[in-house]
Amino acid sequence: MTIKVLAFGIAKDIFGAASVSLELGNDSTVYNLQYALEHEYPRLRQLKSYMLAVNNEYALPGDTIHERDEIALIPPVSGG
């Protein structure tokens, strides 16, 4: 399945785009996606931390991803 990942803040600089698409096996987890992203974009590992959000909720590594989910990479937040 093709997964689109939205990027914000520094993640947009790392991806060089506001979103990227990746191929993942069906029933992949957030952990699998994180692994694939870090392989493609090693600079992600230099961030202080980051989270993945699925459908506007912070996701856990074991959560399953579905093709139509809205996925976003959330670097350390700094609002306010």
Partner 1 sequence: MTTQIQILATPLDIQLAIDWVMSPESGGIDVFIGTVRNQTKGKPVIRLEFEAYEPMAIAEIEKILKQAEEKWPIQKALIHHRTGMLEVGEVPVLIAVSAAHRGAAFEACRYIIDTLKQTVPIWKKEIFEDGEVWVAANP
Residues that bind partner 1 (CB under 8 A): 6, 8-10, 13, 46-48, 53, 56-57, 72, 74-80
Q: Closest CB to partner 1 among 21 and 46?
A: 46
Distance CA 41, CA 56 (A): 23
The CB-of-13 to partner 1 minimum distance in angstroms stands at 8
Q: Closest CB to partner 1 among 23 and 57?
A: 57
Residue 64 CA to chain centroid, in angstroms? 13
Q: How many CA atoms lie within 13 A of 19 on its CB side?
A: 10
The CB-of-35 to partner 1 minimum distance in angstroms stands at 21
The CB-of-50 to partner 1 minimum distance in angstroms stands at 9
Parallel/antiparallel/unpaired status of strands 2-7 and 71-74: parallel
Whose CA is closest to 59, among 22, 34, 41? 34
Q: Closest CB to partner 1 among 26 and 49?
A: 49
